[in-house]
Structure 1
């Protein structure tokens, strides 16, 4: 049911805090287009070696009081820069405002996140900003910082003071915030499994919000709705559900606002949620939403068909939430191949004309380029036959969409001949493990014996996405090539397998409501190294003018994850994203070896690196203040990736001139 208040709402640039200049970073991806490119050229390949630490700040937010901080805490934030101030959040719900030139704290706001819940993820990637065009300059909350929390609240605070905006959510019982857990079929036993981890997209005077759902617990989980909220009042304007509903049965009491729900679909209605950052085309009034897989991830027998619009990218009309177009990128997803990367909006030269394009990276390592007005492919997409032969009760899609652009990671099957190890014994153990598993290349269905999933469910590309270098027509992205093992478990064997002690380090999930539970793990040797040869992580540049890979380089090393004699292995697992600059550089942390690096964007040659005090699993940004160009990254580690945890924000610049 679409709220009529939304109809006719104007979408344009009026809601932005200000038009982006070379010195600002006004949205998570630089601006609403998500290109992660800054038009600054003070730092170049010729002088980047002179970069030094200009300032640093420690937040003090290390997860104290959170039960699973040691297992789930991250620091994935990318700051905004507006005027002379930086803004960023921590996963613990604290927002900071800093002086952009010195890093000095101006204020902090504590959302007082509930620390008692069992959060599946402890991640908050950024905040958003909005300027009320109807408010007088200098009025309270004329400029707002808007953000969401891992305990599912949307909060608006004054950008100047950090105080709550009392008119936002005034009817909610807690002025300054809106409860996002309402009308999503919240399941009490799963408190902490319904969260918001990415910043809202700002489209005119509307904040568009998705959600993060722990989606392997079962079939009927929380709803993956996308919602639009009025940025002045906090009123819900519209919602869009990626899973179609039909008028067959009355709505349940816990979910009265979503109309009548088909009985079959109600059994698999959970998830398909949009947890990655969105992109906004203000001129066309469109918001672009990448969606996740329907629940549960690895068995779809109770969600037959393609499951549109799960594992897709869709364009919604920002004023009303109406679907403008959609493109499913994985049919009947059985691999947790969420569309996890933020869409990027670019203008491509096609036949002498500029064509408005959407670039979508995926966990499969494929790159889809679509006309953002129509959703039609700008590089052909074809349906190809994929492996079949699934477990009883499952019907995989016979085909999957493949982009004509070259994939950024391998889709080949893993064979015993591919076995790799740190020692001869290690390699032999990997060879035996591979021989015992099913492996027929990408989209091999999960099996009882265990299936090798390549690329694994972490990507390919993940939430860090890529960057667009318009001067060089390059899409630059970090990717992983790490095969995982996924095994389905007959329901009556779950407890025995879990208690056997044979699967230490594996992740188990019940997948309630289906005949099968699930376990998954990295395909690794007894010494803990991946069973396939490095590089496991790369930085890749794709020339979208030619449709060719321009360069591909190993990213990071095995330092900090392997014992000293093995530090030199190139190509590390990574989580985070890149930043490109007009100066011809691409900056990226992301890797497990705790470095921030700079690469020559034209050639891919590494030209600089700095040791970080903790894992840099965040995407850097850049801005100018006081005549200096700064590159800033959050270094706080990533518990699930196993990097060193911390609470640092670090800014690098060329030496100050006197």
Structure 2
């Protein structure tokens, strides 16, 4: 049910924006997040509230992975968002096959396969969220590699490809490729990968990494690396833990989610993750340097401009999971260039882009204490005063969900048997409730921001993890007893860990629905305007959507917003792309997909026609239907 409508004045702004965009330059989607700041906003308005119900499939493109990879797709996530730049669509498959397509037809212009090893097991499945396009200002238009496409791979290579042909650029590194994590020592083959697209600013290309969780106390370095965009020569690196202090023994704190850039200010913004191991931090006293932070660096040198930490001394795997969104925000009458950051806890931080200071005030609140032996928890955690958290964080046994009394009781017993004091309850040997679970709240899909309205659109998930610390002496037996659960050693620490979703005997979440929601937040006052369930259980359990009407589902991927007054989103665990009215949250249309749409869509106008495009390939962690198609929708010609 909607909570509140966007005011009529805002509706008028949507209509005005739609009329203006119809006479402006055709909107494209040149960056992973739509623009360099990741607003996921398009000025396209040909598709609007009045005609979106007429959307039909326009074209589709198959990467060929379904036939080529077979069983390996079970370990893949098709999360790519294509980009439109230089007259072509560019995208990558989960196995880093790169493609250029004709924007009108989806016809392949070229393809490039870096031939990664499909037998390795990576921490976050085989995954490639996107490619990055760059125009070299020193080269004549049409010259070889004057336009480049950069791709960072699962096996930690960085390729520079000629955007016109797909051939590696000979002058970049060794025949078009460099080691994207130079000097990094891995605990095992495949323990680190790169899943998000690099960014390019002022001739510097910058990459992060994704590192396996809970394997070692002192894990692989999570340093961000920068290279010359023309030659591939190393330029700088930045380790978020470098200033954490000499007593800190940890690794990771890596940047696995997408980054954003402010070219005018020469800044790159990093969403950093938690240090190793996730759930026990005795070997890293203090607040972990610049882990779990939004970090602004001077892109030319890698020097720190500022950092803001969203979780102190993280022992909950509450990474900063999404691209920092750069926008101009007017809060209580004051207009400021901002960084908007959503979190797994369902919080939204709104920071001054120049200083990192909160625009919407943040307060430090006491949180539960009494961690495991040797643990030194932070006594407080930061909470923005607005908006209200977008995900629930407290649950009692009496709140347990189930479609029968037997189901409810089974869930109630699981909740009752764990330590459970609300958000930031520390992990424990008896088992601790983490709510929201470590998948969010919000996750890598991030937010969409409408600059005409100062409204943020964000999707969230709601589920419970129980995390149990396992004393070292008991670890081998516990791992053998639970072969189907995540049981990891955290070697070097006195505890390993077990992480499990709390589900009923029929497999439903133990917390009450909705399990997925889409929300709109007005940043003028930090108020939640509306919330609606996102997704159905149709493809999880056919027929159950009638019984579980309004349940929503956990989701992967994010929203986009257009000047046509629409929010488009896939993400849910049914095979649909949906369009919601931005003003009210009313679902206006849904298009059936050939496989799971756990990806963020994009939109563009080409030769006078607006297209909405999404990857439909499913997701290993969602266990949604697998496929390998890019699907485009448009109004009938």
Give the drift of 1:360: 0.3
Whole-angstrom distance in 2 between the partners of 1:541 and 1:605:
12
Whole-angstrom distance in 2 between the partners of 1:610 and 1:511:
44
Contact 1:67–1:116 at 8 Å: present in 2 too? no
Within-5 A mapping of 1:68-217: 69-70=73-74, 72-121=75-124, 122-169=126-173, 174-184=174-184, 186-187=185-186, 189-217=187-215
Whole-angstrom distance in 1 between the partners of 2:332 and 2:628:
49
Give the drift of 1:75: 0.5
Whole-angstrom distance in 1 between the partners of 2:198 and 2:228:
12
- 2:518 corresponds in structure 1 to 539
Give the drift of 1:83: 3.7
What are the Cα deviations for residues 158-187 of structure 1, in whole angstroms up to 9, with x where unaligned? 000111100000xxxx31000123222x12
Cα 1:96/1:608, change in 2 over 3 Å: same
Contact 2:72–2:118 at 8 Å: present in 1 too? no
Contact 2:330–2:523 at 8 Å: present in 1 too? no
Does residue 55 (structure 1) correspond to residue 59 (structure 2)? The answer is yes
Give the drift of 1:522: 1.0
What are the Cα deviations for residues 536-588 of structure 1, in whole angstroms up to 9, with x where unaligned? 10000010012100101000111111242455522111000001000000000
Query: In structure 2, which of residues 466, 491, 501 is the aligned counterpart of residue 522 of structure 1?
Result: 501
Does residue 354 (structure 1) correspond to residue 345 (structure 2)? The answer is no
Whole-angstrom distance in 2 between the partners of 1:183 and 1:328:
28
Whole-angstrom distance in 1 between the partners of 2:224 and 2:123:
20
Within-5 A mapping of 1:368-517: 368-500=349-481, 503=482, 505-517=484-496
What are the Cα deviations for residues 399-449 of structure 1, in whole angstroms up to 9, with x where unaligned? 101111134434442211111112211111111111111111000000111
Whole-angstrom distance in 1 between the partners of 2:361 and 2:454:
19
Does residue 239 (structure 1) correspond to residue 237 (structure 2)? The answer is yes
Give the drift of 1:481: 1.4
Give the drift of 1:349: 2.3
Give the TM-score normalised by the residue count of structure 1.
0.91
Whole-angstrom distance in 2 between the partners of 1:202 and 1:35:
17
The farther-off stretch of 174-183 and 579-588 is: 174-183
Give the drift of 1:123: 1.1
Does residue 625 (structure 1) correspond to residue 606 (structure 2)? The answer is yes
> Which SS does the other structure have where 2:561 is aligned?
strand
Give the drift of 1:67: 7.7
CA RMSD in angstroms comes to 1.6
Give the drift of 1:63: 8.4
Within-5 A mapping of 1:610-649: 610-649=591-630
Contact 2:330–2:454 at 8 Å: present in 1 too? no
Cα 1:313/1:98, change in 2 over 3 Å: same
State the structure with bigger RCO (CA 8 A, min sep 6), 1 or 2: 2
What are the Cα deviations for residues 207-238 of structure 1, in whole angstroms up to 9, with x where unaligned? 11111111210111111111211100001111
- 2:10 corresponds in structure 1 to none
| Unaligned runs of at least 5 residues, structure 2 | 1-23
Whole-angstrom distance in 2 between the partners of 1:23 and 1:566:
37
Give the drift of 1:504: 5.7
The farther-off stretch of 626-635 and 404-413 is: 404-413
What are the Cα deviations for residues 334-356 of structure 1, in whole angstroms up to 9, with x where unaligned? 01000011110111225655310
> Which SS does the other structure have where 2:478 is aligned?
helix
The farther-off stretch of 76-85 and 61-70 is: 61-70
Q: How many residues in Structure 1 have an aligned counterpart in Structure 2?
A: 611
Whole-angstrom distance in 2 between the partners of 1:101 and 1:75:
22
Whole-angstrom distance in 1 between the partners of 2:375 and 2:609:
58
- 1:40 corresponds in structure 2 to 44
Query: In structure 1, which of residues 543, 552, 557 is the aligned counterpart of residue 531 of structure 2?
Result: 552
Cα 1:117/1:417, change in 2 over 3 Å: same
Whole-angstrom distance in 2 between the partners of 1:567 and 1:311:
40
Query: In structure 2, which of residues 253, 266, 276 is the aligned counterpart of residue 285 of structure 1?
Result: 266
Contact 2:456–2:521 at 8 Å: present in 1 too? yes
Give the TM-score normalised by the residue count of structure 2.
0.93
- 1:580 corresponds in structure 2 to 561
Give the drift of 1:599: 0.2
Whole-angstrom distance in 1 between the partners of 2:400 and 2:335:
46
